[in-house]
Structure 1
Amino acid sequence: MTRKEFVRICGFLGLSLPFQPIISSKERDQNVLIIGAGAAGITAGYLLGQQGISYQILEASMNYGGRMKTNRDFTDFPIPLGAEWIHVSDKELEKIINNPNRTISTQLKKYPRKEQVGYYESGEMTYRTIPAVFGPFYKEQKFVNSTWLTFFEDHLLPEVREKIKYGHQILEVDYSGKKVKLRDQNGTVFNADRVILTIPLKQLQKGMVTFSPSLPDYKTQAIQRAEIWGGIKIFIKFSEKFYPAFTLFPDSDASNGQRLYYDAAFGQNSNSAILGLFAVGEQAKPYQYQVNSEQISYVLDELDQVFNGKASENYEKHIVQNWDREPFIEAAYLSDYESNGLTRELSHPLEDKIFFAGTAYTRENDWGSVHNATRSAHGAVNELLKAISAKP
């Protein structure tokens, strides 16, 4: 089963990973540090707070959200510069919140089966419906006038916000003693009983964090052999809409990357014509290599070929998010074609002191999305709670 088949089946069946509180009140005297305030870090903090466990989140940048980054100035609805779609059942939102008494205000929009998908090859465009292209179980949904980030801001961040400390890039992790010691770029030392590490995998691959003792060979090898895709998103505002819901190419879904154009305003309460470009892996590089005006010219030239010159005629403005240049992240996500054996090695905790959570640190046959990051956070917190309960 491929990753995409797994995603579709999970979306059809509504599968997720349950989070079960397993800790007693006498075992809550713990100090936990979470490294990173992205989806996994915020979720882990939120869950620890539900258990009454003391925690703090150390974030390298000056903003929360990580790859859920959102632009609110480009048009009349928020633009998701990173994570955009929800790939599984909307019941996943309830599982993330983990509280049946909380009302979820977030609205989602499914793609109608009649929506058109364009396929461009050898100078010719053909059109088919979404089920004909993506299969009968296609369950992708868009957030309505919101994003993944606003979902977190509305439902999780209020419980977590005061626990985040910004501008602390952790460079050293010493788990050789009873306490875990962390050192940031300024030499500040933090001590914790346990740590949940959600640093993007690319940062570990580049050796931005040193560990003492050194990481086990299996984990070091998993980190170094992981294929991590770079990525870019470009959003273009046009004076009129001339494109279908999705536009695909022969290389839109390949083992070395993906790319597509899509109607970014789909499902929004807006009349704006906003076209998005999503590209990762090798397919992202031609767009990333261009700079300044050359970049948008390259994109408009490509679109003009597909849509008979309408792109240049209707162009108004654009924004670019090159994830390879995003500080403290520097990539998109782990390749869809990696093995789940590798992600399990990446997620394995160290001596019941260091736990891993994030889009690449999963124990399922799927990764690279926000819901995976939250599931991994649930898993890491569960493992942490078990370790606390098992201590002599």
Structure 2
Amino acid sequence: MKLLSSVLVLAILFILTMTSASPSPTVIIIGAGVSGILAAKTLHDSGIQDILILEANSKIGGRIHSVQFRGHTVELGANWVIGGGPRSNHLYEIASKLNLKTYLSDYGNISANIYKQEGGLYPKHVVSAALEVAETRDQFCTSFSTRLSAPGHDRDDVSILVSQRLFKEVPTTPLDMVIDYFYNDYEDAEPPRVTSLKNTLPRYEFLDFGDQTYFLADSRGFESILVYIAKQFLSHKHEVIRDQRLKLNKVVREINYSKSGVQVKTEDGSVYQAKYVIVSVSVGVLQSDLIVFKPHLPQWKTQAIYEFDMAVYTKIFLRFPYKFWPSGPETEFFLYAHEKRGYYPIWQHLETEMPGSNILFVTVTDEEAKRIEQQPDIKIQEEIMDVLKKMFGNDIPEPEEILIPRWWSNRFFKGSFSNWPIGYSQRRHMQLKVRKAQNINNDLGLISLFFV
């Protein structure tokens, strides 16, 4: 499960020197997701209040996105917050301050809740043995990553898969693969073969903030946390932001930048001028042709963007006329082991958070998520029902409704969150963060902001 506190959100800030010839904001911020709102608040708190936020969607939040599903609020994007660690998690603190309903996710009985490909549960002792191997393997990979990055002994990066091979225990059976998926893909949205070891393990978000993961299920939605932050510097009435510095449904298509300033053009024909611009969109959007930069970004910058990974993490929700799955303590999460890695693997029912809702959701990632997105809803439902019948028998009802997010297809996101790929060097990463680019006009600077 991907936690918001571990999501990497990329923004590019152009620092330009000019004297404005007409009334215009000092800074335009493109995107009102986490990074955009935090960038705006940082500027505001620093005394720069003449800002303008342009958001393509009809509300703030970005990939923090809740919707109504059969009378219940469900989260298409960020869903968990973590706490209990040595460092304070600001998001968890806000959730607590707002009295948002959160529920501790208990994965402790996974060994009793893994289903075979053709039906039936794996014996608990068999799964327990496989989980013990997986835990030992994960500890080995974490230790190996620490040795690779040790001061004075810094060595080239490898994939998580390479470290698993060194451990001599690479998951190959359906059971081992779904457990490995639970340990890795469920967190990173990409498999170990393409994920950086040095930049993934140890998972510092758990070391810093704790390993208690709380599933947020509140009618106000996860986005209420971001609204709370935005209300600290944007004018509002009750829960609605009513500030002229925030413009919704503004799809930015072109950014012109020079020594004299920046010009931002939107799809509806609007044109905005400013001294600086912060582009707070996903790396997936930066890799697409939605926004055109004039002049083109320098090759070293473009290459740094293109080499990073935008992963896809999709939760598919289904509402049934009645529940047919086990419920009660230690049943919330269950896994489906298939010979094809990542084939509808991680399941969760919401009877704890939303009693009587009869809602299940399944998490899919990476290439499977992309494959699924390209199918019509009815085809996806057929595949899901085939899996559910394998687990619970043929005498189960059809869903009354299905909700399928399409993060990869959505031109405003082009994925769910970024994942550090194998071989993406620290040098390349510094090129995303470099403040002054010596190989372009010295009046221009480029910097990348990372918010976690």
TM-score using structure 1 length? 0.70
Name which of 169, 173, 180 aligns with 2:262.
180
1:42 corresponds to: 37
- 2:321 is aligned with 1:248: no
Name which of 374, 387, 390 aligns with 1:302.
387
Most deviating of 48-57 and 240-249:
240-249
- Amino acid of the structure 2 residue aligned with 1:274: I
1:106 corresponds to: 100
2:415 corresponds to: 331
- 2:292 is aligned with 1:219: no
Name which of 284, 306, 315 aligns with 2:399.
315
Larger gyration radius, structure 1 or structure 2: 2
- Amino acid of the structure 2 residue aligned with 1:324: W
**Any stretches of 5+ residues in structure 1 without a counterpart?**
12-28, 363-373, 376-392
2:276 corresponds to: 194
1:390 corresponds to: none
Indicate conservation of the 8 Å contact 1:258/1:281, yes or no.
no
Most deviating of 336-345 and 159-168:
336-345
CA positional deviation for 1:262: 2.8
The structure-2 alpha-carbon separation of the partners of 1:296 and 1:307, relative to structure 1 and needing over 3 Å to count, comes to same
1:275 corresponds to: 360
The structure-2 alpha-carbon separation of the partners of 1:266 and 1:213, relative to structure 1 and needing over 3 Å to count, comes to farther
CA positional deviation for 1:318: 1.9
Secondary structure in 2 matching 1:151? helix
- Deviation string 1:329-349 (CA, Å, 9 cap, x unpaired) is 232222354547355544445
Give distance in 2, aligned partners of 1:253 and 1:104: 42
2:212 corresponds to: 139
- 2:150 is aligned with 1:68: no
Secondary structure in 2 matching 1:180? strand
Most deviating of 298-307 and 150-159:
150-159
Give distance in 1, aligned partners of 2:67 and 2:257: 38
The structure-2 alpha-carbon separation of the partners of 1:121 and 1:226, relative to structure 1 and needing over 3 Å to count, comes to farther
The structure-2 alpha-carbon separation of the partners of 1:241 and 1:115, relative to structure 1 and needing over 3 Å to count, comes to farther
Secondary structure in 2 matching 1:72? strand
Give distance in 2, aligned partners of 1:280 and 1:340: 24
CA positional deviation for 1:34: 0.8
The structure-2 alpha-carbon separation of the partners of 1:52 and 1:59, relative to structure 1 and needing over 3 Å to count, comes to same
The structure-2 alpha-carbon separation of the partners of 1:197 and 1:246, relative to structure 1 and needing over 3 Å to count, comes to same
- Deviation string 1:59-90 (CA, Å, 9 cap, x unpaired) is 123332211121124233x1001221225658
Give distance in 2, aligned partners of 1:64 and 1:253: 37
Q: Relative contact order (alpha carbons < 8 A, sep ≥ 6): 1 or 2 greater? A: 2
How many residue pairs get matched?
Answer: 329
CA positional deviation for 1:222: 2.0
- Deviation string 1:268-289 (CA, Å, 9 cap, x unpaired) is 2533221112212112134223
- Deviation string 1:357-379 (CA, Å, 9 cap, x unpaired) is 4xxxx4xxxxxxxxxxx43xxxx
The structure-2 alpha-carbon separation of the partners of 1:252 and 1:276, relative to structure 1 and needing over 3 Å to count, comes to farther
The structure-2 alpha-carbon separation of the partners of 1:226 and 1:83, relative to structure 1 and needing over 3 Å to count, comes to same
Give distance in 1, aligned partners of 2:345 and 2:397: 21
The structure-2 alpha-carbon separation of the partners of 1:285 and 1:269, relative to structure 1 and needing over 3 Å to count, comes to closer
Give distance in 1, aligned partners of 2:448 and 2:311: 20
The structure-2 alpha-carbon separation of the partners of 1:268 and 1:166, relative to structure 1 and needing over 3 Å to count, comes to same
- 2:46 is aligned with 1:51: yes
2:163 corresponds to: none
The structure-2 alpha-carbon separation of the partners of 1:273 and 1:326, relative to structure 1 and needing over 3 Å to count, comes to same
- 2:278 is aligned with 1:205: no
Name which of 85, 89, 93 aligns with 1:92.
89
Give distance in 2, aligned partners of 1:349 and 1:324: 31
- 2:224 is aligned with 1:150: yes
Give distance in 2, aligned partners of 1:47 and 1:262: 38
1:14 corresponds to: none
Percent identity (aligned): 21
Give distance in 1, aligned partners of 2:311 and 2:338: 15
Indicate conservation of the 8 Å contact 1:62/1:166, yes or no.
yes
The structure-2 alpha-carbon separation of the partners of 1:346 and 1:121, relative to structure 1 and needing over 3 Å to count, comes to farther
- Deviation string 1:8-48 (CA, Å, 9 cap, x unpaired) is xx99xxxxxxxxxxxxxxxxx97221100112112222332
Indicate conservation of the 8 Å contact 1:251/1:283, yes or no.
no
Give distance in 2, aligned partners of 1:340 and 1:157: 38
Secondary structure in 1 matching 2:293? strand
- Amino acid of the structure 2 residue aligned with 1:149: E
Indicate conservation of the 8 Å contact 2:435/2:447, yes or no.
yes
CA positional deviation for 1:234: 1.2
Secondary structure in 1 matching 2:356? coil
- Amino acid of the structure 1 residue aligned with 2:218: N
CA positional deviation for 1:94: 5.3
CA positional deviation for 1:215: 1.7
Most deviating of 113-122 and 141-150:
113-122
Give distance in 2, aligned partners of 1:48 and 1:345: 23
Give distance in 1, aligned partners of 2:402 and 2:248: 30
